[in-house]
Structure 1
Amino acid sequence: MDDKNEFVKSMYEAYGKEGDIYFEHHQKKELAAWIDENNSEYSLTVIGHSYGGNSAARVIAAGHRVDHLITADPVGRFKPNFTNVALYSETWTNYVATGGGMNRNNLVARAGGWYGHKPEWYADAHIPINKDHVEICFQYCRP
């Protein structure tokens, strides 16, 4: 687990509620199984930042239905079918980082396959935020 994962996991531990589950970006199969096991019993919200946002969107696009998907500046070389993401999430809110210029955080996100404004026509809410790729999480990944 790298420093960025530690940060997101620490937010989950600090702010998560009983019954919440934390997945890392590489645990797509586990996330899909969890959604399928719980989507008839609970109102499910999935939140993902960066690669985690891409992983969550890909799982949902594959037909794993959730009530709410929140992506914070998602990044991924292999992007989901955005039409399917919108179809299988009751609501999809996408935050896109627009601040910071070409600093290190944003350069890494761009190199990783930054979504940018691509979800704008598909998400129920597409919200530009004047923060960089990492700073967006400090303000918008918290409850």
Structure 2
Amino acid sequence: MTDAPSADLADLGRAFEEITAWLRRSRSTSEVSATGLSLLDRLDAGGALRVTDLATLEGVTQPAATALVNRLADQGWVGRAADPSDGRASLVSITDAGRQRLRQHRDERSRRIADRLALLDAADQAALRAALPALRHLPAAPVARPNP
């Protein structure tokens, strides 16, 4: 059985939630949804996937994933190719234009975060700089599986 996180870690988790909500509210990108950006990011990091796999990984229905892929394809940000393992299926991949759009989004988001961080006092900025190595390790930390 996994122990419950300490109160400090729970507070840190809530802070991450608040930061995530702030980032979503302050998005300047209107032509692509948060789910669309997540899908582009997933394709950029992991390569081509079937729509059914994208739906599962993004936590949306297959019709919603299909509609999203269609919108992204209309923008020229994703492409489709026949799945060599199953001629009835297609693989969705990010295009160079999609990578550029994703890079633009990341740059905009980084700038908004940096602008907000610049408002903090020197001690808070130093604390966040000191936490940077741990924050970079967080996405790669192994996920604990609950004991049955």
Structure with the largest fraction of strand: 1
Q: Point out the structure with the larger helix share.
A: 2
Q: TM-score, normalised by structure 2?
A: 0.29
**Larger of the two Rg values belongs to structure:** 2
For normalisation by structure 1, the TM-score amounts to: 0.30
